[in-house]
Structure formats: structure tokens, C-alpha cells
Chain A
Amino acid sequence: MVKVIVLIVGLVIIGFILWWFFGKHTVNAVSAESNGQTQQINIDVNGGYSPENVVLKKGVPAVLNFTRRDSSTCLDHVVFSDFGINQTLPKNEAQSIKIDTSKAGEYQWACGMDMFHGKLTIK
């Protein structure tokens, strides 16, 4: 009897894992705040990036402020491979990263181990 219950609970947990990690969960795109001259957005680094989907206006110099609150070594660098940026993120310190917005397109960023990802859309 106990074993049957354990089996059912185990399978339910598996189902939950599948739904939680692989199910469709909408991620909202957040636009950077722009004052016409520059645009800025704060990105919180804690178990991933929030927001992790950032929209920038083309042609307006942009600054992304990353603040890492997570002590995981995985997140201690942020890499924009298209821009040649590999910035260390000391814990609890805002790090500004300037992005060249002259070319429209979608760009990925990732943590130093390529486990966490974020998306940058310039349009």
C-alpha cells in the first residue's frame, strides 16, 4: 500500500517537473525606458535574469544595468557574444553595460556557463 502511494506521488512529481520546466510559460518582453537621448533598463540577476526579454529602440544609446543578487558562480559573468562583451558581475553591485543599438535584430545573452539566457531585441 505504502509503495503504491510512493509510486503515485513519484509520478505526480515527474509530471509536475515536466509541466513546470517544459510547459509554455509566457515571458513578458520589457522595453527599456527612454528619454530620447538614452535608454536604460535595470536587470535583476537572481536565479536567471528578470526581465529576460528586453526590447531596445534602434539608434538610441542603451545601457543595461545588471545587478547580481545570486551567489551562484554560474551567473557571475554575463556574456553578449554578438557584442564581444564579457562582464563580471560582482555580487550586489550594479554593472552598466553599454549596447550598440545601431543594428536591429535579436541578440542572445547568457551567463558565463551558457546555462541562463536572455534575449535582446533591437527594433
Chain B
Amino acid sequence: MSITKRFWISLVFSLPMLANMILIPFGWMLPGGDWTQLILTTVVMVVSAGPFIKSAWASFTKHHSNMDTLVAIGTATAYFYSIYAMATGQPVFFESAAFVTTFVLLGQVFEERMRNNASNAVEKLVNLQAKDAEVLRDGQYVRVPLEEVVSGDVLRVKPGQKIPVDGVIIKGSSSVDESMVTGESMPVEKTVDDAVIGSTINSNGTFLFKANKVGDQTMLAQIVELVKKAQNSHAPIQKLTDKVSDIFVPVVLIIAILTFLVWYVFLAASLANALIFAVSVVVIVCPCALGLATPTALMVGTGCGAKMGVLIKNGEVLEAVNDVKTVVFDKTGTITEGQPKVTDVVGDEQRVLTVAASLEEASEHPLAAAILKRAKALNLTGQTAQQFQAVEGKGVQAVLGGQTAVVGNHKLLADFKFDAAMEQREAALQDAGKTVVYVGVDDRIIGMIAIQDVPKETSKQAIADLKARGLKTVMLTGDNERVAKAVANEVGIDQVIADVLPSDKADHVQALQKSGKVAFVGDGINDAPALTVADVGIAMGSGTDVAIDAGGIVLVKNDLRDVDRALALSRKTFNRIKLNLFWAFIYNVLGIPVAAGLFFAVGLSLSPELAGLAMAFSSLSVVTSSVLLNKAKIETRARVA
């Protein structure tokens, strides 16, 4: 029988007794008196409380005890004592057994609902999945169930449809709403060669894409897997409750017996009163609240993170975040875009870029890619270059429309005329940490192109947020000091450690750990050791799989501001866990003495019914407090200040 049914039966059969209790002062009595009460309570005991007793007995035979042990002993004591009292003509308290059962079940009904509420983040993620897909089969687009899509299939997505799996666009373009997976609120423009994520929503264009990840390989599937693991992980703070829960129930039973003995034997209370105190003790304690305090908050916190695109892998990470003093960043791809971009063009921009683009067209150098991209953005088409020639260690040379043109590094300066105005600009660019490419025609340098791996737009804000939180920020990079310093100054990083060999990153993190816990933020394969060594490894979602595996927190949308959000969320969740545990402990610590009648002299005591009600609501309040975490605002300090 379901808990809800047991609750309703218990309630219906308890109500007449409640009426009896309230109306006795007005002269109304339950017809049949004690006999009616006996019958009503027997029904409650058999139907509603029976399962508690069965479960308690089953665990007793295994040398275990739990919540049900307490409820069973409490209600059975009240019930059987009342039968004895009835037989010997003393006052009965059947209603206690019935009310306690009703309240406990009421608490469990709510609690079950709340627990489902707490854990449904994963379900919501899974439901994002598209059900079918339009796949190219034998030259025609046909609708097939999602399971039949294989890697390499070409799929068509129309406006308003869900993108079924992960892949790369091969034709068409559109803007895509990725908020459900990455938490990014703005639609993202996608065109040929851009990656699309399964389960995101295509808004205005139609495009074709080639599936590259299907089934449990898709980003969404991986996120679901991660969140599931996180939600069920163990936080170290739980070790305490693990220990307590093992001894909790037997200890409470002993306290209850002692309560009874003290009242009955030493304080000469009546048998009935001594029993009432003992039953109250058994009924008021709630080991469940202790057991639920951590897992429910963890579940809501990690689920909440998943919605924002912040994946916290487990409870251990969550707890470690709390003491982080220093945040260390990798530079390339983390603070910066990871791709060099043209930032300045000195000289006649059109001409300089045209010449450079014509010469670099065939090159695969990353700097060449930056130049070509900029030329394309300005709609400049290169001229046909002839007699290509690499100038050893300096650059490339070719003939363009009858003139000799050259593109290369500063070693070219030895052979070309370079005017003073340009020299000044050159110094400024280099001080700003930019790489300068020189463009020459005939015997003169006609211009320079400055290229830099620029910081992401959000990096500055992200660093400011962290600093507002009182954290020290450090940048680790393999680049030279000058380039590193320039970027650091631009985004506001406190300390720069440059010229770091990839293999030494972890050592530097360890050195920083001497002055407090360190979080490391990175994205590349070479960051993996540092991510592992750091107390909290934060991997950028755009990064390599290796880095994502090594990190304890993954930022899906590649926005550095999420570092601050991740820290804020972790702290909030951890504080909620602490609050829950505090409340659960305090409740039990205060509840037992009150129920045992320690404050009876000052008029403070609890009947078993009230104890049962308090118990039901203590575990309910813990779960509610966890669920409310969903509503908590995650604020970044800098914007508040």
C-alpha cells in the first residue's frame, strides 16, 4: 500500500479521536468510549503502522535499526499500554498511537514529494532530447527515430526544430538557442564548419549537418552522466552523519528507557506518565533529517549548476571550493580566445592587408590565418602572387603586379627602409605584447600588422568578480613575460608566472598551494596535471576531453565569468548543507531533553502527538530548505558592490 493511502486511512480513523479530545471539555464524548478508540486505533495500527513494525522487525533481525524502529516502538508502546490500562480501568492514550502514525505518514508524504522535486533536474535534462531526426537516406530526407541516427549521417534541421545530435554544419546557417545545454542566454550564430549541440533549438534558418556524436556520446548525454554522478556523490562532511546514523537509534532507545526509569523509579511518576515521556523521546528524534541534510542539498545544488552550465562533479569539490584562496588561470584559450587576431594595422590598411593576404594565402601558420580572416572580414581579395619564395627565417616573398612584395618578421628590417614614425609605433605595439608582422613592397616597409591572442570579452569582468570576492588571481603561461604581462594588465590579474614549460604547470600550482587552497582554470591537454593537482580543477567546456576529465568543475559555455558563478554556487550549496546539518543536530539535541521532561518543572513538556508532529516536520524542513536552494540567487560580488 502506498504511503499516501496509509496516511489517508490513518487520518480518517484518527479524526473521531481528535474530535473527542477537543469536544470533551464541552461535554461531548465519543460514543462507545474506550472501546471505539480501541477499534479505531487498532485499524490504524494494523493498516498504517503495520509496515513500520514489519520493517523495524526485519532490520532488528539484521542487528540494524532505523526510523521505523523508533516509530514502531513508540506507537506500539502507547497502543499496548492503553490496552493494559483499559483492562485495569485506568486512563488510556490510544489517540497518541494513532496521531503519531498520522503525523509521521504526513511528513513522509510531503518528504517523498520534495525528494522527487530535488532530484528531477536530471530528468528535465533527459527530456530535452529530440525524439526523431530527419536523416539523408538513399538521397532522400526521412524521419527516423533518434536511436537510428549513426555518426556520419547527414541530418537536416528546419527552423524551430530541435537539433537531434551533436555534429558540424556542412550547409546553411542559422542562429541556435543553446541555453538549455550551456546556459548561454543569447542565441548563437552558426554557419558552415561550426559545431552544433544536440537537443538545442534551431531558430530561423535551415541547415544540414553531419552527425559526429550520437547516443551516449553526445554532449547532453555526457552532462546527464556527470550530473547524475555528482548528485549521488558523497560530501566529506557527511562522514560525521554516517557515524552518527549507525549508533543513533539504539542510543535513543537507551535514552528513552533511562527516561522511563528515572521518572518511574526515582521521581515516583505514575506508570502512564513515565511511559508518555519515554514514548515522546522515541518519537521526537529524527535521524532522517540528519541523513537527508547533505544529499538533498547536493542534489539541488548540482542540478541548479547544470542549468547554468556549471557542472560540479562531486561533493568533495563543492566542499573544497569553500576554502579556495587563489585562482590560477592558464592563459591561452582560458583568459584569451586561444586564436590570434589582427588588432592593429599600421599604414594604409587596405593595401597592407591585401599584400599580406596575397602572400599568406597558401600558408598554414596561425598568424597567416589571423591575417586572412581580417582581410576576408573587410572583403579584400588577394592578388595573384607569382614566384613564391621563402626567405630563410624571415618570411615569404613574391611578385605582385610587377613589384616584389614581402611579409615577415623583424629580421626583414635589415634589408628594407623603415621610417621613424613607424619605428615608434612598432615599439608601442611590442610593449603591448603584440606580435608584429612587417609588410614590404620594393625596398620599403609599407606597413605593419599587429597580431595578438586577445582576451575574451568577459575575462576582465570575470577577474574583477573574483577579486571582489577577495581571491588572489594568478596567470600561468608558457608565453614570454612581456606578452603575459600585457594580457594580465588588460584583464587585471594580480600575479603573472611566465615562461612556464607545460610540464611545470602542476609544480607551480603546488608551490601556490603552500599559501592556501588553489583553484586552477584551464582547457588544454597540458593543463590536465595542474587541474588534477589543484584543490579545485575548473575545466573550460570548450577544452579537450582530457582537461574535462581532469577538472572537478566543468564550465559548459566557456565563459570565464562562470568561474565566479561556480564558486558562488558551491559556497551557497555548502552553506546550505551546513545549515541543514546544524538544524538537524540542534533539533535532536534540543528535542530529546524537552521530550524526556527535563523542563517539566518549568511547565515545558511535549505529548507524544506533538513530538510526532515535530519529528515529521523536522525532516520535511530540511528537504524544503534544500529545494529552496533552487530559488536562491547566485550573485556575483562585483556587480552587487
Contacts and interface: CB of A to CB of B under 8 A. Distances in A.
Interface of A: 3, 6-7, 10-11, 13-14, 17-18, 20-22, 25, 46-48, 50, 52, 70-75, 79-81, 83-86, 112-116
A81 B56 CA distance: 25
Q: In the A-B complex, list the 6 residue pairs whose CB atoms are closest, starting with the nearest.
A: A47-B58, A84-B229, A47-B59, A113-B291, A71-B51, A21-B250
B250 A18 contact: yes
Contacts of A3: 264-265
Interface in B80-133: 108, 111-112, 115, 119
Nearest to B65: A21
Contact of B288 (A10, A74, A85): A74
B257 A14 contact: yes
Interface in B286-321: 287-288, 291-292, 294-295
B67 A17 contact: no
Q: How large is the interface on B (under 10, 10 to 19, 20 to 34, 35 or more residues)?
A: 35 or more
A81 B232 CA distance: 5
A88 to B, nearest CB: 10
Given A18-B250, A48-B64, 12 more contacts: A3-B264, A21-B247, A47-B57, A47-B60, A50-B62, A52-B62, A70-B55, A74-B66, A74-B288, A79-B295, A113-B292, A113-B295
A114 B1 contact: no
A72 B52 contact: yes
B171 to A, nearest CB: 38
Contact of A18 (B51, B254, B291): B254
B544 interface: no
Contact of A71 (B55, B229, B292): B55
A2 to B, nearest CB: 10
Contacts of B287: 115
B64 A116 contact: yes
Interface stretch (B238-246, B383-391, B396-404): B238-246
Contacts of A17: 250, 253-254, 257
A79 B231 CA distance: 10
B68 A74 contact: yes
B193 interface: no
5 contacts: A10-B261, A21-B64, A21-B247, A73-B3, A114-B238
B67 A115 contact: yes
Contacts, number: 119
B456 to A, nearest CB: 32
B140 interface: no
B148 interface: no
A99 to B, nearest CB: 14
Contact of B63 (A21, A74, A84, A115): A21
B277 interface: no
Contacts of A52: 62
A26 B250 CA distance: 19
Contacts of A115: 66-67, 245, 287-288, 291
A79 B229 CA distance: 10
B291 A6 contact: no
Contacts of B64: 21, 47-48, 116
A111 B1 CA distance: 20
A115 B265 CA distance: 34
Nearest to B248: A115
B261 A72 contact: no
A115 B62 CA distance: 13
Given A48-B64, A114-B245, A14 B254 contact: yes
B61 interface: yes
Nearest to A50: B62
A34 B230 CA distance: 31
B303 to A, nearest CB: 12
Interface in B394-424: none
Contact of B67 (A18, A20, A21, A72): A72
B228 interface: yes
Contact of B55 (A7, A11, A72): A72
Given A21-B250, A70-B55, A10 B257 contact: yes
A48 B253 contact: no
Contacts of A22: 247, 250
Contacts of B233: 81, 84
Contacts of B60: 20, 47
A112 to B, nearest CB: 7
Contacts of B1: 71
A22 B61 CA distance: 13
B233 to A, nearest CB: 5
B570 to A, nearest CB: 18
Contacts of A13: 257
B261 A6 contact: yes
A112 B291 CA distance: 9
A54 to B, nearest CB: 15
B260 interface: yes
B248 to A, nearest CB: 9
A18 B254 CA distance: 9
A70 B66 CA distance: 13
A20 B288 CA distance: 22
Nearest to B315: A81
B393 to A, nearest CB: 51
Contact of A25 (B63, B108, B119, B232): B63
Contacts of B241: 114
A66 to B, nearest CB: 15
A11 B260 CA distance: 11
A38 B472 CA distance: 52
B258 interface: yes
Contacts of B444: none
B234 interface: yes
Contact of B56 (A6, A47, A73): A47
B51 A114 contact: no
Nearest to A77: B115
